[in-house]
Structures are given as C-alpha cells and as structure tokens.
Copies of this chain bind each other. A is one copy, B any other.
Amino acid sequence: MKALEDKILKEGEVYPGNVLKVGSFLNHCIDVPFMCECGKEFFRLFDGCGVNKILTVEASGIAVAVLTAQYFGCPAVFAKKAKTSNIADDVYSAPVKSYTHNCINQVMIEKKYLNPGDKVLVIDDFLAHGEALTGLFKLIEDAGAEVVGAGIVIEKAFQDGGKDLRKRGFRIESLARISGMDAETGSISFIN
C-alpha cells in the first residue's frame, strides 16, 4: 500500500535494535481517517472469504481491528494480556513473548467469544517474530474455529515471523513489508 509506505517514510523513526516508532499514526496517536483506509484495504483483500469475526490482541491492535471490522460488519474480539477480576475462568489462552515489553504474556479470550464455525481474520499492527500471530492462531484453533488469515499493517520482513507462518500455510497480508532499516541513517526500505 503505497500511501502507507510513504507515511512510514515520512513519520517513522528508526531506533537501534530494529525499533520502528510509528506512534504518530498507528499505536499511540492514531490517524483514524488513514487507518480507515487500511481497514478498507484489508476488506478488499479478504472480501468473499466469509469472515464473521476479527481477532486481535490488546492494546495497539484494537484500533485497526475495529476500524477494519466495520467494513466486514462483524464483531472484533481482543485477546487480553492479564487476568483481571472481570474475566471469566473459562478462557482459551496462549503464551506470547513480547519483545517490546521484554516479557511473556499469557493472552486469553473468553471461550464464548470464539466458536466452532467462526471464520476469523486476525488483524494486528505489527508482525516481526510472529509471536502474537502464533498465539492468536492457537486460540482460534483451540476453539475449533477457522483461521482465514491475518492482516498486518507493518511487517518487519527481515525477521522470520511472516516467512515461518506462510510456510505453515497461513495467508498473511501485510500492507507494508519492510526489508531493512538503519538506525544510523534513518533509512527504511520495502519489499514490493
């Protein structure tokens, strides 16, 4: 998605350790009109696949997930990262390593929100090592539901998550695929 690549080049900030900050439009301040365009693009890509549910994980996946879900006219479920006093015991769960927060979260979803027969599209802001996607796919499969695929805003294609998941047969559509970044020069390059 050319407009997204342009936006990453204009607003993205590269830091050491392969950190790309896109807080100005994706995961702190959300450029809602622009993210609606991303949602429309996910709808164009997965229209006709029978998607009846969007799944993401808190927190930064929620915005793009709900803005996408409105084009499918379906609900969006977000997996939670910590057990709170108002989550039921009856959950599907999976461990997900967070490189950003340097910890392992147990992500979970109440069982009643994922059912056999559901055709689930996973939406997330980033794909790098594929930890979050792997965990979310596990939740869907544990529920006996179907993984339609995943729509990702930004894939760090120089890391192995996307490659590994595609090799396992999952359909992964990323709106921008970064082939390399350089914290010293600030340069970012894309796979077309």
Contact = CB atoms under 8 A, between A and B. Distances in A.
Interface of A: 15, 19, 21, 23-25, 28-33, 35-36, 54, 58-59, 62-63, 66-67, 69-70, 73-78, 80, 82, 84-87, 100-102, 109-110, 112-113
> Which of A21, A78, A100, A113 has the most chain B CB atoms closer than 10 A to its own CB?
A78
Contacts of A25: 75
Q: Which 5 A-B pairs have the closest CB atoms?
A: A58-B59, A32-B69, A59-B59, A29-B113, A62-B62
A77 B30 CA distance: 6
Given A33-B70, A59-B62, A85-B102, 20 more contacts: A15-B86, A19-B85, A21-B86, A25-B75, A28-B77, A29-B75, A30-B69, A30-B76, A31-B75, A32-B54, A32-B69, A32-B70, A32-B74, A32-B75, A58-B59, A59-B80, A62-B62, A63-B76, A84-B100, A85-B101
Nearest to A70: B32
A28 B53 CA distance: 13
Contacts of A69: 30, 32
Given A58-B59, A66-B67, A78 B30 contact: yes
